[in-house]
């Protein structure tokens, strides 16, 4: 799905990953679920690019529905996979704290589960990662800046690309709650430290971006400041 000439989404409103498309190559932000590899191939075919044009995979955090097919790209094609040092163990299959599921509705829960069955909920965990840190600007297409966003997980980050005027937020927020079906900006489920996650939103509020791109839910065309305010309103509801 093309969002702009330089920005494409892979997947759907249940689970999403993103491609930054630049003349010098591509950057993949998150790797969804394992079966979304075929979605990646279709998107690459549609834009006339190949797997070997991908210069790196950057992970907003190390949960299974973001690690997805990243190890396949790394092991089969030598594409580096980058993740914050605080989530490196999680991306390798380390234990994730058990978090309460919170409210849910049967229909959205079944849709999430069905999509997971179709695309595969069990990732091939990473065996090698490149660890990154807050404040780095990555030498990859899109020149992404790493913004630490602890809360959903210790190593959750956002990536800001001035080149495409987008901030990739992973599960720092959601625009479609996978358990309730609620749409619009709001807190993401399965968050380790909800209050810390809300506080971390300050770190993206003033960015000069026109796209806010979550791991779950529709892409938002708007401002980070308005999105952050909407998440906090939803959190109080």
**Mean pLDDT to the nearest integer, 86-106:** 84
Looking from the CA of 68 toward its CB, the CA atoms found within 13 Å total: 32
**CB neighbourhood size of 145 (10 A):** 18
- pLDDT for residue 98 is more than 80: no
For 131-175, what is each residue's pLDDT tens digit? 999 999 999 999 999 999 999 999 999 999 999 999 999 999 999
CB 156 within 8 Å of CB 149: yes
Q: Using DSSP, state whether 19 is helix, strand or coil.
A: strand
Kindly indicate the confidence band of residue 104, based on its pLDDT and cuts at 50, 70 and 90. confident
In angstroms, rounded to a whole number, what is the distance separating the alpha carbons of residues 233 and 228?
Answer: 9
- pLDDT for residue 117 is more than 90: no
Kindly indicate the confidence band of residue 114, based on its pLDDT and cuts at 50, 70 and 90. confident
Quote the mean pLDDT of the chain. Answer: 94
pLDDT of 37: 97
pTM for this model (two decimals) = 0.95
pLDDT of 110: 87
Kindly indicate the confidence band of residue 116, based on its pLDDT and cuts at 50, 70 and 90. confident
CB 9 within 8 Å of CB 219: yes
DSSP assignment of 128-167 equals --EEE-TT-B-SSTT-PEEEE-TTSSTT-EEEEETTTTEE
For 19-53, what is each residue's pLDDT tens digit? 999 999 999 999 999 999 999 999 999 999 999 99
**Mean pLDDT to the nearest integer, 178-202:** 94
In angstroms, rounded to a whole number, what is the distance separating the alpha carbons of residues 218 and 9?
Answer: 10
Q: What are the tokens at 216?
A: 């779950």
- pLDDT for residue 212 is more than 90: yes
In angstroms, rounded to a whole number, what is the distance separating the alpha carbons of residues 164 and 142?
Answer: 7
**Residue-wise over 38-77: b if at least 16 C-beta within 10 A, else e?**
ebbeebbeeeebebebbbbbbbbbbbbbbbbbbbbbbeee
In angstroms, rounded to a whole number, what is the distance separating the alpha carbons of residues 90 and 60?
Answer: 12
């Amino acid at each position: 799905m093309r969002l702009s000439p330089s920005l494409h989404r892979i997947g759907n409103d249940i689970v999403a990953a993103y491609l930054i498309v630049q003349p010098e190559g591509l950057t993949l932000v998150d790797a969804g679920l394992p079966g979304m590899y075929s979605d990646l191939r279709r998107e690459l075919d549609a834009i006339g690019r190949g797997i070997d044009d991908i210069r790196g995979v950057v992970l907003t955090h190390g949960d299974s529905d973001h690690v997805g097919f990243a190890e396949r790209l790394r092991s089969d094609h030598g594409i580096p996979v980058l993740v914050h040092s605080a989530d490196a163990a999680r991306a390798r299959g380390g234990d994730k704290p058990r978090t309460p599921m919170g409210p849910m509705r049967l229909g959205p829960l079944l849709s999430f589960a069905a999509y997971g069955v179709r695309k595969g909920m069990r990732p091939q965990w990473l065996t090698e990662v490149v660890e990154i840190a807050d404040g780095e600007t990555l030498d990859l297409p899109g020149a992404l800046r790493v913004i630490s966003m602890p809360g959903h997980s210790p190593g959750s980050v956002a990536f800001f690309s001035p080149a495409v005027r987008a901030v990739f937020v992973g599960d720092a927020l959601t625009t479609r709650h996978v358990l309730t079906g609620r749409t619009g900006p709001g807190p993401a489920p399965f968050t380790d430290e909800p209050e810390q996650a809300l506080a971390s939103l300050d770190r993206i509020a003033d960015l000069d971006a026109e796209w806010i791109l979550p791991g779950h839910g529709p892409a938002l065309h708007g401002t980070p400041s308005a999105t952050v305010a909407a998440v906090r309103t939803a959190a109080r509801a």
